[in-house]
């Protein structure tokens, strides 16, 4: 998305964050098929929002020397510092799938790729200028980091830990846990214990809560269904009354079944009344505000939560049962259906929780 693009109501953009945090912006402009128009574009970005400081500009997908000269001439009278030109380089294109770029952990030659990218950047950009802009931002970043740590240690808006020793699924199928969430749990005194369902590992012994974050269960549905030790450990944790919580992909795994893109149904954990499908995909995307329908480790019934929904899965069957969230709204304040399900200590929904509403 672009600098001024955010939630559906126009808030939460990168520009909003830069102003709120006092941070300068380095604008990356796709210059493919553009020359003199770059001046008009950059002039518009610089004047569009009061209080926003665009400190530098980098042009990407640049052609030969003539293209570089035309771009430099077009922005010569504008205040942002010209940091450099990145030429077209198809060898440095990252593959993507339906939820974004292929994860770094799945990139087979990541170190070599990063080395090539670093050399390419060093050859084409003024790194001294870029470091100077970054040093200007360091003070503001330090203040924000200290405030974040203080917020996590105090009441703030962060989510309470699921437990004291939290088993967190982490591998290629379960990789969408917000770092700030896990960090805040650690600051609040919880221990994070990672395990891999794709390696057929159960939740670690001694854990008192289980968290299945989002990811790509649809790509590994057969492997997950065949992970007997993982499934048995998950069901045992639920039977012992441990909080078991799943978000998005994790929610799908807690259900009865997952239908893959080929229409094949794979048996999941069977802990929630849910069947999801990738045979007919539909995009669900946006910020959400929701209220807990019942008491939960994250708060009492009625507590308001903020989160983000981003998936292509559709619900083939959901329920009966108590929803996890009621009074769900999108960023425009428009009402949405109830989300998720609760079955004793097992809960989940398609919502990636960010924090409690202020």
- The listed CATH number (3.40.50.720, 3.40.50.880, 3.40.50.10490, 3.20.20.140) that belongs to domain 154-356: 3.40.50.880
In the structure encoding, which two tokens stand for residue 44, read together? Answer: 């518009």
Q: What share of the chain is helix, strand, coil (3-state, %, to 5)?
A: 30, 30, 40
- Non-local (6+) Cβ contacts of 135 within 8 A are none
- The ranges assigned to domains in the chain are 14-139, 154-356
Do the Cβ atoms of 208 and 168 come closer than 8 Å?
A: no
How far from chain centre, in Å, is Cα 21? 20
* 248 has catalytic annotation: yes
Return the minimum-mean-pLDDT range out of 197-211, 227-241, 305-319. Answer: 305-319
Quote the pLDDT of residue 59.
98
In the structure encoding, which two tokens stand for residue 147, read together? Answer: 């405030």
Quote the pLDDT of residue 155.
53
> In the chain, pLDDT over 90 holds for what percent of residues?
78
How far from chain centre, in Å, is Cα 17? 16
Quote the pLDDT of residue 94.
80
Quote the pLDDT of residue 241.
98
Q: What is the DSSP letter of 241?
A: T
pLDDT tens track for 335-356? 999 999 999 999 999 999 999 9
Predicted model pTM = 0.83
Quote the pLDDT of residue 280.
81
Integer Cα distance of 175 and 105 in angstroms: 9
Query: Which of 263, 247, 260 is closest to 310 using CA atoms?
Result: 247
Mean pLDDT, the chain, whole residue set: 92
Integer Cα distance of 21 and 141 in angstroms: 7
pLDDT-based confidence at 156, cuts 50/70/90?
A: low
Integer Cα distance of 58 and 53 in angstroms: 15
Catalytic one of 46, 207, 248, 342: 248
- Non-local (6+) Cβ contacts of 142 within 8 A are none
Quote the pLDDT of residue 303.
96
Query: Which of 84, 87, 69, 91 is closest to 32 using CA atoms?
Result: 87
pLDDT-based confidence at 143, cuts 50/70/90?
A: low
């Amino acid at each position: 998305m672009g600098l001024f693009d955010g939630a559906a109501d126009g808030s939460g953009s990168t520009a909003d964050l830069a102003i709120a945090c006092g941070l300068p912006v380095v604008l990356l402009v796709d210059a493919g098929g553009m020359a003199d128009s770059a001046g008009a574009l950059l002039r518009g970005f610089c004047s569009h929002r009061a209080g926003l400081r665009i400190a530098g500009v980098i042009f990407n997908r640049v052609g030969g020397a003539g293209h570089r000269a035309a771009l430099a001439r077009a922005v010569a009278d504008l205040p942002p510092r010209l940091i450099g030109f990145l030429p077209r380089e198809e060898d440095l294109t990252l593959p993507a799938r339906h939820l974004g770029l292929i994860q770094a952990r799945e990139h087979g030659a990541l170190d070599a790729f990063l080395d090539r990218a670093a050399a390419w950047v060093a050859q084409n950009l003024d790194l001294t200028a870029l470091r100077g802009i970054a040093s200007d931002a360091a003070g503001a970043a330090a203040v924000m980091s200290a405030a974040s740590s203080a917020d996590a240690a105090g009441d703030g808006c962060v989510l309470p830990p699921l437990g004291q020793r939290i088993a967190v699924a982490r591998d290629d199928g379960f990789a969408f846990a917000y770092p700030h969430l896990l960090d805040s749990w650690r600051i609040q005194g919880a221990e994070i214990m990672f395990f891999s369902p794709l390696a057929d590992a159960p939740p670690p012994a001694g854990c008192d809560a289980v968290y299945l974050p989002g990811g790509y269960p649809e790509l590994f549905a057969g492997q997950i269904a065949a992970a007997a030790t993982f499934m048995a450990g998950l069901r045992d944790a639920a039977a012992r009354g441990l909080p078991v919580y799943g978000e998005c992909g994790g929610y799908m795994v807690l259900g009865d079944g997952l239908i893959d893109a080929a229409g094949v149904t794979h048996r999941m954990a069977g802990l929630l009344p849910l069947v999801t499908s990738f045979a007919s995909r539909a995009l669900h995307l946006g910020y959400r505000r929701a209220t807990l329908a019942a008491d939960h480790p994250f708060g009492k019934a009625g507590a308001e939560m903020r989160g983000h929904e981003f998936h292509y899965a559709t619900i083939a069957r959901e329920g009966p049962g108590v929803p996890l969230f009621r009074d769900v709204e999108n960023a425009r304040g428009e009402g949405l259906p109830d989300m998720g399900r609760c079955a004793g200590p097992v809960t989940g929904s398609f919502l990636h929780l960010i924090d409690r509403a202020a």
